[in-house]
């Protein structure tokens, strides 16, 4: 009987210790964690650039624009034919079903050089039913400055599917938009500030004075005092070495430095549509009662 009592006493003690350890995540102060510099900041000017263009998709199986409702498709086709030496007689009413006017968009990554390939997105402008099976005709892609940076052309890949028969129609996903993987060739590079000036600016992903201070302090500890200077809660200015190769080596050394991040501010996200509530680890709950349907819960002491 004494052995049974000892066993019960041991099990009760073990359960109590397990409960304390399991609840430690709720009441133990949240400690700081480390992330690499490349994950908390970016180099000013080293970013993607948006490109856009207007073009035509041909080769559609009768699912193109209805020219009576989208006259710009006919005008675009006539202009393209004229550039190729084919003149369409004035007043000709072209009834096209295999051509669609589209907008072509792409992202020009930093350091992209002429001759490299990038992906493009193609979206219908008119009332085309589907772009499946179509081919994008050579389309210049321009930047915000109006200059041509890439030329797009190729066969479209449409993720959707659809079928209709006897008055019934079934469609999965979207048929009036698609992609051309590696469908654009870069024609012009964009200058970056990596090799310009004596300093470089690091922009933090979020506004936080502690993170800015830690970034500057970590860089100075690794590369030498006075190299980095925190200007505000979002910007850190870094003094760069001379020479292109030296700068690349310098950036490779500092981008993998571990930055000690402080505990983030408490945040609560409420989705009114789904009725879900998401909180981060620093949110503290005061004594309260929560009820949903037949289920209710209550908290008598503050919990984290």
* Residue extents of the structural domains in the chain: 33-46+193-261, 49-186, 266-304
Give residues with Cβ within 8 angstroms of 234, minimum separation 6.
203, 204, 206, 207, 208, 212
Place of tokens 């992202």: 107
**The pLDDT value given to residue 161:** 65
Looking at residue 299, what is its pLDDT?
60
State how far the alpha carbon of 231 is from the alpha carbons of 49, 162, 208, 209, 236, in Å.
26, 56, 12, 10, 6
C-beta atoms surrounding 164 within 10 Å: 10
- Alpha-carbon distance of 220 to 259, in angstroms, equals 12
Encoded tokens for 289: 């009662």
Angle, CA of 128, 129 and 133, to the nearest 5°:
90
Hunting for tokens 């970034």 — which residue is that?
A: 215
Beta bridge partners of 270: 277
Which pLDDT does position 139 carry in this prediction?
95
Closest CA to 249 of 257, 258, 241: 241
Confidence (pLDDT) at 145: 92
Distance of CA 110 to the CA centre of its chain: 15
Collect the ranges in the chain with pLDDT lower than 50: 1-2, 25-27, 29-30
CB distance 128 to 64 below 8 Å: yes
C-alpha span between 158 and 130 (Å, rounded): 9
Give the pLDDT confidence score for residue 30 in this predicted structure.
46
- Token pair for 65: 């624009």
The pLDDT assigned to 10 comes to 59
Return d(Cα 59, Cα 130) in angstroms, integer. Answer: 11
**Rounded to an integer, what distance in angstroms lies between the CA atom of residue 160 and that of residue 171?**
7
The topology (CATH level 3) of 33-46+193-261 is: Dipeptide-binding Protein; domain 1 (3.90.76)
């Amino acid at each position: 009987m004494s052995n049974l009592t000892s066993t019960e006493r041991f099990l009760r003690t073990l359960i109590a210790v397990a409960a304390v350890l399991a609840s430690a995540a709720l009441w133990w102060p949240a400690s700081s964690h480390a992330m690499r510099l490349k994950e908390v900041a970016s180099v000013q000017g080293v970013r993607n650039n948006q490109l856009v263009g207007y073009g035509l998709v041909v080769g559609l199986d009768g699912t193109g624009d209805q020219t009576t409702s989208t006259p710009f498709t006919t005008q675009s086709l006539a202009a393209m034919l004229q550039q190729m030496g084919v003149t369409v007689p004035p007043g000709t009413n072209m009834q096209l079903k295999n051509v669609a006017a589209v907008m072509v968009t792409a992202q020009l990554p930093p350091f992209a050089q002429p001759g490299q390939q990038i992906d493009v997105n193609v979206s219908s402008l008119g009332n085309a039913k589907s772009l499946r099976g179509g081919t994008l005709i050579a389309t210049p892609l321009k930047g915000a400055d109006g200059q041509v940076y890439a030329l797009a052309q190729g066969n479209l890949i449409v993720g959707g599917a659809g079928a209709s028969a006897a008055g019934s129609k079934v469609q999965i996903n979207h048929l009036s938009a698609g992609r051309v993987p590696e469908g654009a060739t870069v024609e012009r590079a964009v200058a970056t500030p990596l090799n310009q000036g004596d300093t470089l600016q690091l922009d933090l992903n979020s506004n936080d004075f502690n993170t800015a201070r830690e970034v500057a302090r970590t860089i100075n500890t690794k590369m030498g005092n006075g190299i980095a200077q925190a200007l505000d809660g979002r910007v850190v200015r870094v003094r760069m070495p001379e020479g292109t190769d030296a700068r690349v080596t310098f950036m490779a050394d500092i981008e993998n430095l571990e930055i000690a991040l402080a505990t983030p501010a408490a945040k609560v996200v409420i989705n009114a549509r789904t009725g879900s509530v998401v909180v981060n680890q620093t949110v503290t709950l005061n004594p309260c009662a929560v009820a949903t349907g037949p289920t209710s819960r209550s908290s008598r002491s503050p919990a984290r």
